[in-house]
C-alpha cells in the first residue's frame, strides 16, 4: 500500500470532572468522551526520504503550523522511532476542526497519523503498541484509538469503552465556537490558581455510576468543571449558553477547555432558529457545525 486516507474525528466531552493537580503538574480527570462523525481528513502517501526530511506536511488551513510543532510531525517521528521504519511519507491534512476549540483536533490528527503509517509502512503494530505511542504524544490522544464513547481517567491513559454507548450513539449535536480560542494550558493553569473548581474523584465517579445504572438520556450526564475558569474571563460563553438553554430548552455545555461549545438536539429539532441566535450573539463568522455522536 502506497497511499491511504484516514478520517480524523472531533470529540466532545459530555462529562468532564477535573479532580485535582498531580505532583508532575498535570491534572487527573474523569471524563465521558464521544467521537463525532465530523472531523479532519489526513492523506498519507509514500515518498523518498533521501531529499530532505523523512516526512512532509501540507495543510488546507494556513493558520495551522506545518513544522515540528504539529502533532502530525510528532506522531510520525514517534512511530518511526518505535518501529525503526526508514521510509518517507507525505501528509496532506484537510482541516475542518477549528483550532483552540477543545474538540481534540490536534490529538485526533496524531492518532490518524499513527493509523496511516501503520497501514502504509506495513509495520502492523497491535493496538496496544499504538496506544503506548499515543500516550506519549498527549493526554487526549489515546482515546481516539477507540471508535466509541469512552470513560477517560488519570491523565487520559486509562480508558473504558462504554457498554451503554447506545444512549449516546447517533445523537445529534450542534457544535459552535466564537472567533477566539482558549489555550488548554491557560485553562488548566487558571483552574489551579482558582483552587475552588476541582471535584473529588469519588464524587466524579459516583455521578457517572449513577447515570450508567439508570436510563437517563445523555442530557443528564452533561458536566464540565473547567467552565468556571473559562467563563470568568470569556463571558461571551456563559451568556450565550444561558440564552440557548432558556430560549430553546437545549442542553448545552462547553467542550473540554473550550472555546467550542455544543448542544444536544432531539431528532426532530429544527436548528435554523438556534443557529441564527448563535450568529446574532457571536457574529456571522462564528463556527457552527451539526454532527452526530459516533
Torsional class of 104: left (φ above 0), alpha (ψ -120 to 50), beta (otherwise): left
CA angle 17, 153, 136 (to 5 degrees): 120
Q: Which residues are catalytic?
A: 11, 140
Amino acid at each position: 500500500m502506497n497511499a491511504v486516507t484516514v478520517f480524523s474525528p472531533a470529540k466532545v466531552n459530555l462529562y468532564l470532572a477535573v479532580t485535582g493537580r498531580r505532583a508532575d503538574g498535570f491534572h487527573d480527570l474523569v471524563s465521558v468522551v464521544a467521537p463525532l462523525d465530523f472531523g479532519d481528513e489526513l492523506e498519507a502517501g509514500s515518498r523518498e526520504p533521501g531529499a530532505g526530511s523523512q516526512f512532509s506536511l501540507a495543510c488546507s488551513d494556513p493558520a495551522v503550523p506545518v513544522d515540528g510543532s504539529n502533532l502530525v510531525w510528532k506522531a510520525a517521528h514517534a512511530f518511526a522511532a518505535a518501529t525503526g521504519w526508514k521510509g518517507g511519507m507525505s501528509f496532506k491534512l484537510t482541516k475542518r476542526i477549528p483550532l483552540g476549540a477543545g474538540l481534540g483536533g490536534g490529538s485526533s490528527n496524531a492518532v490518524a497519523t499513527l493509523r496511516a503509517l501503520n497501514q502504509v509502512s506495513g509495520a502492523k503494530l497491535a493496538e496496544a503498541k499504538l496506544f503506548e505511542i499515543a500516550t506519549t504524544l498527549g493526554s487526549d490522544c489515546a482515546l481516539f484509538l477507540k471508535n466509541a464513547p469512552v470513560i477517560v481517567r488519570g491523565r487520559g491513559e486509562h480508558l473504558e469503552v462504554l457498554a451503554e454507548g447506545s444512549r449516546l450513539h447517533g445523537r445529534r449535536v450542534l457544535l459552535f465556537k466564537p472567533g477566539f480560542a482558549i489555550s488548554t494550558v491557560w485553562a488548566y493553569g487558571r483552574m489551579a490558581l482558582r483552587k475552588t473548581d476541582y471535584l473529588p474523584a469519588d464524587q466524579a465517579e459516583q455521578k457517572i455510576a449513577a447515570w450508567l445504572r439508570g436510563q437517563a438520556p445523555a442530557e443528564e450526564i452533561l458536566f464540565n468543571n473547567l467552565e468556571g475558569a473559562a467563563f470568568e474571563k470569556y463571558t461571551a460563553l456563559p451568556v450565550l449558553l444561558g440564552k440557548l438553554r432558556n430560549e430553546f430548552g437545549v442542553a448545552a455545555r462547553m467542550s473540554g477547555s473550550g472555546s467550542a461549545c455544543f448542544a444536544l438536539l432531539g431528532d426532530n429539532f429544527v436548528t435554523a432558529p438556534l443557529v441564527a441566535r448563535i450568529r446574532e450573539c457571536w457574529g456571522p463568522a462564528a463556527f457552527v457545525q451539526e454532527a452526530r455522536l459516533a
